[in-house]
Structure 1
Amino acid sequence: MSFQPDKGGRIKESARATIQLPAAETASHSSNIDTSSHDPYKAAREALDKNGFVVLSASLFPSFDLEALRTAASRMTKAARSGSWPYIRTLPKQFPPWPQDPSHGIWGVQHLLHPSNPDHLVFAKSYFDPELLKYVAVLIGCDEDDLTMELYNMLVRPDKDFSLRWHRDDIAATATAQEELERLQKPAFHAQWNLALYDDSSLVLIPGTHKRARTDAERNADPYEAHLPGQITVKLKAGEVAFYNNNILHRGVYDSTKERMTLHGSIGTRAAGEERARNVLQHGVGEWAEKWDVNEFEPQMRERARKMRESLVELGKSSGDVGFFSKDE
């Protein structure tokens, strides 16, 4: 894993299709946690609080079965591209709802835990992995018994070069500086991560922006600006996990020539109440979660999954129609 401070790149014809090719040196960064850390849980929490993201070494998750996950991910991606799996992120739309027609290309596969997915158990083993849940609870600052099931999706190689605009997941681009600060000062109430099944250098972010409003340069920049001051590219090796604050200023830059299968998950806490409702339920997970049968899981995972699913179902029942963060783009 490495973090690349970006120094700009050539611009193609369309900003939406720009693939950033920075001529940059690799920089060391304090957000890299591995087995050499005296207390990796504490170190991960400190790095996330300070920088807005943290990368955890694959060595910290010995029970992850990358080969099984790659095989299942390949089947899911093939089904999504062929149109036989309807839950997809389609080009060029950034936020849900997405059309279920893959003819213009896809960049993501939704609902890996859906009961109709033949491989849902394979993905569930990584989502409910005991070690992952320990980190999630520490990063949120809650007990494991308070965790709430949220989302498990996959980000894949797009059918053509594609990029996301600079954004915060739960703060509109039109927000004033004061509105940004008010939202950023609230607890996150969840942990969000990327688990790379293949080497991945798609996530671009500006460390520290999870604690401050945008600068004038950031606010006035083109939404697809290839370089903003202080940005870095997070380069993951297969098996590494990047946790990041969903309201850090970030974007994705996706290369259609490079294989990508990165599991994109989030888990919340009961303390969130309805604070997390829209971000989670807008993806449609509430439509099937209550019907999800966890009885085939091994006993320990079955109990964890049952409790976390029940918390999600309760959230859906209490929240009603939550709408979408950005229905019109």
Structure 2
Amino acid sequence: MDEQPDKGGIKGSAKATIQLPVAQPSAKPASSSPPNITTSSNDPYKAVRESLDLDGFVVLSASLFPSFDLEALCAAAARMTEAARSGQWPYIRTLPKQFPPWPQDPSQGIWGVQHLLHPSNPDHLTFAKSYFDGELLKYVAALIGCGEEDLTMELYNMLVRPDQDFSLRWHRDDVVATATPEEELERLKKPGHHAQWNLALYDDSSLVLVPGSHKRARTDTERNADPYEAHMPNQITVHLKAGEVAFYNNNILHRGVYDSTKERMTLHGSIGTTLAGSERARNVLQHGVGEWAKEYDFDGFEPGMAERAKKMREKLVYMGSTSGDVGFFSKDE
């Protein structure tokens, strides 16, 4: 597997790609790389969990998930993006703001579309079929280390081509930049209690991260680096082909680098567990999902998926009703 640090210029594929026994195609996928798994396990879910624990990220083919209709998802994503850019969809990530809450005025440009599962979205069912996919939930439960009955609905958003070049600073999603090494380690030692992923509908090389940094405090170099440092020591760019899914630990040291000249529609999801208690409340509820989740409509779902989705939604609604004012991770950035 090519995991050489980024040094500028043309970059080869740098990712932890898992070729699993349950994959359908017999030929190597076009984007395949040698896997980073060193395990004798024949259990694909265990193998993925071990890889995520080791490196902090892992890439899978969407062919593993039977409800991922990439053609339908691309068409729905294009409609959502057009509605967002034209002001017809108010739930957006606007430039140049990095973290919620975002102004709902798209006139300065957008870089994301929020709330794909919102009941007022005409395409919510298309996105829901990928979010509540039974096979995806098996991987999510394995990655979290919980039973499927414990899973909690969280977020499903989309990251899109920005109207001008844009990047996020180096960060961990649930550790503030001012945290001391001791504070970082205290948080990193706690279970994540959720799984987070990017499903690329177009080739996507926007995610930059430092493998293994989810297990340690920042080095002095990382702590003192420019927040937008282009070449952090040992960083890699995760190169996703259309249809690939990257799961990653949200407290790995990472940033996003978004090119306004390249089309991008990447579905960005997270699912949690009741094992988290109230620990996930701020990360999830700061996006506003609690304002509409109780209204979510399961008409059109096949029975098994509807049952799974209702149970997961009930847990999210409960989180919202018991958490009070959770505030924001970084309100002014």
TM-score by length of 2: 0.92
1:231-242 pair list within 5 angstroms: 231-242=235-246
Distance 1:227 1:211 in 2: 20
Q: Deviations over 1:168-194 (max 9, x none)?
A: 000000000000000000000000000
Q: Which residue, out of 74, 78, 93, partners 2:97? A: 93
**d(CA) in 2 for partners of 1:253, 1:220:** 20
CA distance in 1, matches of 2:245, 2:216: 25
Work out the CA distance in 2 between the residues paired with 1:119 and 1:204.
30
Residue 263 of structure 1 aligns to which amino acid in structure 2? L
Structure 2 unpaired stretches of 5+:
23-41
1:284 paired residue number = 288
Q: Are the aligned partners of 2:6 and 2:236 in contact in 1 as well (CA < 8 Å)?
A: no
Per the TM alignment, residue 296 of structure 1 is displaced from its structure 2 partner at its CA by 3.0
Q: 1:102 aligns with which of 102, 106, 111?
A: 106
What are the residue-to-residue correspondences of 1:237-252 with 2, within 5 Å?
237-252=241-256
Pairing 1:220-235 to 2, within 5 Å after superposition: 220-235=224-239
Could you say what secondary structure the match of 2:213 adopts? coil
Q: CA deviation at 1:57?
A: 1.7
Question: How far does the alpha carbon of each residue in 1:112-145 deviate from its partner, in whole angstroms, 9 at most, with x for none?
Answer: 0000000000000000001100000000000001
Aligned residue number for residue 119 of structure 1? 123
Looking at structure 1, the residues matched to 234 and 205 of structure 2 have their Cα atoms a distance apart, in angstroms, of 17
Q: Show the counterpart of 1:78.
A: 82
CA displacement at 1:40 relative to structure 2: 1.9
The Cα shift of 1:36 comes to: 4.1
Report deviation, 1:34: 2.2
Do the aligned residues in 2 keep the contact of 1:6 with 1:23 (CA within 8 Å)? no
Amino acid at match of 1:135: Y
Could you tell me which residue of structure 1 aligns to residue 318 of structure 2? 314
**Alignment partner, residue 150 of structure 1:** 154
- Write out aligned runs for 1:210-221 (5 A): 210-221=214-225
- Distance (whole Å) between structure 1 residues aligned to residue 117 and residue 220 of structure 2: 41
Larger displacement relative to structure 2 (60-69 or 190-199): 60-69
Question: What is the TM-score with the length of structure 1 in the denominator?
Answer: 0.93
Counterpart of 1:34 (choices 4, 10, 19) is: 19
Number of residue equivalences: 314
Residue aligning to 1:43: 47
Alignment check: 8 A CA contact 1:128 1:301 kept: yes
Structure 1 gaps, min length 5: 10-21
